[in-house]
C-alpha cells in the first residue's frame, strides 16, 4: 500500500492490513506479562516457604524454652522441698 493509498484507506482496510500485526503484538505482550507474572508467583511461593520454615524454627525454640522453663521450675521446687523445710514453719507458714 502506497502513501496515497494509506491516506485514502478506510478504517476497514486499515484493520485488514494492520490487525494481524496488532494481534501478534498483543499476544507477545500477554506472553511476556504471563511469564513475568509466573516468575513473580514462584518467587512469592519461595518466600512463603522460607517464612514458614522460620516460623517453625521459632515455634521449636519457644517450645524448647517452655520445656526448659518447666524443668527449671521443677528443679527449684524439688530443691526447695528437699531442703527438709517443715511445711508448718519456714516459707509455707500461714499468717
Model pLDDT for residues 14-31, shown as the tens digit of each residue: 778 888 888 888 888 899
Prediction pTM value = 0.47
Q: Per the structure block, which three cell numbers stand in for 28?
A: 507477545
Residue scoring higher pLDDT (44 or 61): 44
Model pLDDT for residues 49-89, shown as the tens digit of each residue: 999 999 999 998 888 877 777 776 666 666 655 555 555 55
The domain in which residue 61 lies consists of 3-92
Confidence at residue 40, expressed as pLDDT on a 0 to 100 scale: 93
How far, CA to CA in Å, does 62 sit from each of 44, 51, 55?
Answer: 27, 16, 10
Domain count for the chain: 1
> How far, in Å, CA of 81 to CA of 74, rounded?
10
Using a pLDDT cut of 90, give the percent of the chain over it. Answer: 26
Amino acid at each position: 500500500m502506497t502513501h496515497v493509498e494509506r491516506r485514502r484507506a478506510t478504517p476497514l482496510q486499515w484493520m485488514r492490513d494492520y490487525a494481524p500485526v496488532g494481534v501478534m503484538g498483543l499476544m507477545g505482550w500477554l506472553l511476556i506479562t504471563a511469564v513475568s507474572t509466573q516468575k513473580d508467583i514462584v518467587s512469592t511461593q519461595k518466600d512463603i516457604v522460607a517464612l514458614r520454615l522460620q516460623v517453625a524454627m521459632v515455634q521449636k525454640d519457644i517450645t524448647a524454652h517452655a520445656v526448659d522453663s518447666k524443668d527449671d521450675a521443677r528443679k527449684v521446687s524439688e530443691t526447695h522441698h528437699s531442703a527438709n523445710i517443715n511445711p508448718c514453719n519456714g516459707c509455707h507458714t500461714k499468717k
